[in-house]
Amino acid sequence: MTKPQMILGMHLGNGYGSQGSAWRAPGVDPANYTSFDAQVRYARAAERGKFAFLFLPDFPGLQADVDHEAPSMTLEPMMTLAAIARATERIGLVATGSTSFTEPFNLARQFKALDVMSHGRAGWNAVTTSDPAAAANFGQALASRPDRYQRAHETIQIAQALWGSWEQDAWVKDQKTGRFAHPDKIQPINMQGGHVASRGPLPIPPSEQGQPVIFSAGGGANGLEIAGRYASGVIGATFTIDDARAQRQAYRDAAAKAGRNPDEIKFFAGVMPAIGRTTRAALDRRVQLAELTAGSRVPYLGSMLNLQLSPDQLDEPLTAQQLAAASPSPFDPRSPRALEVAREGWTIRDILAHGVIDYHPTPVGEASVTADHMQEWFDAGACDGFWVSIDINEDGIDTFVDEVVPILQERGVYHHDYDGTTLRDHLGAPAQYGLDPRLANPTL
């Protein structure tokens, strides 16, 4: 039997990298925040590594202390992916689009246009938005959680119905007879929910994959239901193999409950590698990036370890007394790893450079350390692949592609080339056009 192959996605954010101070790194143009050329360059590097997709998160507001750090998101994900679509050939293009503040017709139109433009490579990470500041940007108050998720169900179903409203064989484009399309095969959907509605049709024919692929990044019971009913990919956040395995199984169970094959949903764990020729070199790279912010993070590290820590101790290891008194906080799943690193004798600055308060696990050292981490999780059934978040995009994506990818390929857990041309091909997602007819108990 063919050995299972992990699937990789690449996180693209603000044009610098996942670390807030990446804009100050050597060799980085500080103006890359507005450079679509830089984003295209990074996308091409990821495509060279045969990544299945790019993932662009989004938040409709400002999420950074811009005194020292760049905003973490791209200027606008759909515009960014449109630029990338014209400069790449195979890599999938996945963007976050909020169901809370955008009408389903707009979402359906934008994502299907991107899908046609890219020849079947578009994916929609359909999420709700729970931040009051974001709601204020749209002149609205934040809706209740039940209302937000009910609107999400309605929005996704209406968008999918709109995608199918131009039937697959409707476009004749026969110059000899003068018939452009069959009007009876391009019909309104006339869907009305409690929160959103659309008449339709959407005047966009199918792409090579039919319609965009749905992704999900929500948690909890509501997020599980959204993913189980609609998603082919889940963008995960987890810090241990056991938790990742449990999350993956929960999504698979949710898909089965919705009447789908659990193998249709792929779970992607996050990883934020720190790669260097040695462990010290990898840490030095992160230390340099955290030059202005490390001190402010010391109190939070202390809360993770149930200690009172001061920035004055930044360049010293924890004392024997502190280590004896330390214990992992039950309120932060990263705490056991932070204590493990502290017990190795690193200074507090180096403990932070290990990424112990980053958003995903951070393997530190030469490329094989990252490859080992990924293979261990994959072989343990903790994920179907990873979304990789690089510290500094300018050189870090090439380093991952040139050093980590060949190791995974040599070990037989990662492909040497694309097996297809569409995002559905890359994910092994089934064909779908319009609403999924298998879906149990539709909400509209």
In angstroms, the CA 37 to CA 206 distance is 29
pLDDT at 61: 72
More confident residue, 219 or 398: 398
Q: Which residues, 6+ apart, have CB-to-CB distance to 117 below 8 Å?
A: 82, 85, 86
pLDDT at 1: 56
Host H or E run for residue 127: strand 122-127
pLDDT at 443: 59
Average pLDDT along the chain: 95
In angstroms, the CA 376 to CA 371 distance is 8
pLDDT over 70 percentage in the chain = 98
Give pairs for 277-285: CB < 8 Å, separation 24+: 277/366, 278/365, 278/366, 279/364, 279/365, 279/366, 279/369, 282/364, 282/365, 282/366, 283/350, 283/353, 283/354, 283/364, 285/391, 285/392
CB burial of residue 98 (10 Å; 0-12, 13-18, 19+): buried
Structure tokens at 278: 């040695």
- Please give the torsion angle defined by the CA atoms of residues 227, 228, 231 and 236, in that order, rounded to the nearest 10 degrees: 50
Residue 343 has pLDDT above 70, yes or no: yes
pLDDT digit string, tens, across residues 109-135: 999 999 999 999 999 999 999 888 888
Structure tokens at 55: 């993932």
Mean pLDDT value across residues 365-371: 98
pLDDT at 218: 76
Question: What is residue 93's three-state secondary structure?
Answer: strand
Q: What is the pTM of this model?
A: 0.95
Mean pLDDT value across residues 46-51: 98
Mean pLDDT value across residues 241-249: 96
Residues facing 77 on adjacent strands? none
In angstroms, the CA 340 to CA 239 distance is 13
Mean pLDDT value across residues 125-149: 92
Least trusted range by pLDDT, from 64-73, 220-229, 260-269, 294-303: 64-73
pLDDT at 441: 57
pLDDT at 298: 95
Structure tokens at 379: 């072989």
Residues facing 10 on adjacent strands? 54, 388
pLDDT at 292: 84
pLDDT at 63: 64
Residue 217 has pLDDT above 70, yes or no: yes
pLDDT digit string, tens, across residues 80-105: 999 999 999 999 999 999 999 999 99
